Amino acid sequence: MEFLLDPNIWIAFAMLTALEIVLGVDNIIFISILVGRLPADVRDKARRLGLGFAMVSRLLLLFSLSWVMSLKTDLFHIFSIGISGRDLVLLFGGLFLLWKASHEIFVEVEAREDDHAPDTDPALIKAAGARLFWGIIAQIAVIDIVFSLDSVITAVGMVDQIGVMVAAVITSVGVMLFAAKPIGDFVDAHPSVKVLALAFLVMVGMALTAEALDAHVPKGYIYAAMSFSLAVEFLNIRARTKRLALKAASQA
């Protein structure tokens, strides 16, 4: 137990936990947007399952570090660009994220999914709900693996002790589990923020795809751009709320 008294262990734990939370922001946004398509009574369950998959995938990758690091070995070359197992995971994950975020933007902005007549048979409604629920969980699980791979490789580069990595992952997922519901509720309540979040996921998908082709895009640039956009949108939300309050007061 003496290692618990080592300040370097606690510094490494704090730094890695903070990094895992930052790297998990895109995962929380992805989960929040997909879960928003489910009925309100099952959203919390879907969030817990989604973040549970995120924690399990990270822990499994941590306990198979030799295999994870072997993914960085080039398998073949395309136009002098080495393609490793990690690159393939990032490429397909990035393309999936690009497709999914673009589709969700189309649904949010253009599509009218409620134009058809809804089913009235309770059995059909229940079956459709179950398919939607597990379909969304499957999509969350796929993207969890992609985000977990990069997260674990980053953790290995920062810390040597597997116990510190495991503790940091569990703590960060606990924080994300606490934050996921208010973030999801806020995104659902403000459609413009949802579109911004989806645009953020498009940028992340592009960054993952570029990373797979050896074109590194620092995530700090993406986070800075989205932070600025969100700050402007928060000002717009505040301005709209103020206008509505003044209008209601004038009509009273």
Residue (of 17, 46, 60) closest to 155 by Cα position: 17
- Residue 77, domain member (yes or no): yes
In this prediction, the residues of the chain whose per-residue pLDDT falls under 70 are 1-8, 65-66, 68-70, 111-126, 150, 153-160, 252
The whole-number pLDDT of residue 244 equals 82
Return the beta strands (E) in the chain as ranges. 74-78, 81-84
Report whether 193 contacts 230 (CB < 8 A). yes
The whole-number pLDDT of residue 121 equals 55
- Residue 40, domain member (yes or no): yes
- Residue 232, domain member (yes or no): no
Q: Which long-range contacts (CB under 8 A, 24 or more apart) does 154-158 make?
A: 154/19, 154/23, 155/16, 155/19, 155/20, 155/62, 156/65, 156/68, 156/69, 158/12, 158/15, 158/16, 158/19
- Residue 241, domain member (yes or no): no
The whole-number pLDDT of residue 241 equals 83
Residue (of 61, 56, 24) closest to 156 by Cα position: 61
- Residue 123, domain member (yes or no): yes
The whole-number pLDDT of residue 68 equals 67
- CA 25, 26, 30: angle at the middle one, nearest 5? 120
- Residue 236, domain member (yes or no): no
The whole-number pLDDT of residue 167 equals 83
Q: Encode burial over 12-38: b for 16+ CB neighbours within 10 A, e otherwise.
A: bbeebbebbbebbbbbbbbbbbbbbbb
**Which tokens belong to 26?**
């895109």
* Domain span holding position 207: 2-217
Domain count, the chain: 1
Report whether 87 contacts 212 (CB < 8 A). yes
Render pLDDT for 84-128 as a digit per residue (tens, 0 to 9).
887 888 888 888 888 888 888 888 777 655 545 455 556 656 677
CA dihedral over 223, 202, 184, 155, signed as positive or negative: negative
- Residue 250, domain member (yes or no): no
- Residue 229, domain member (yes or no): no
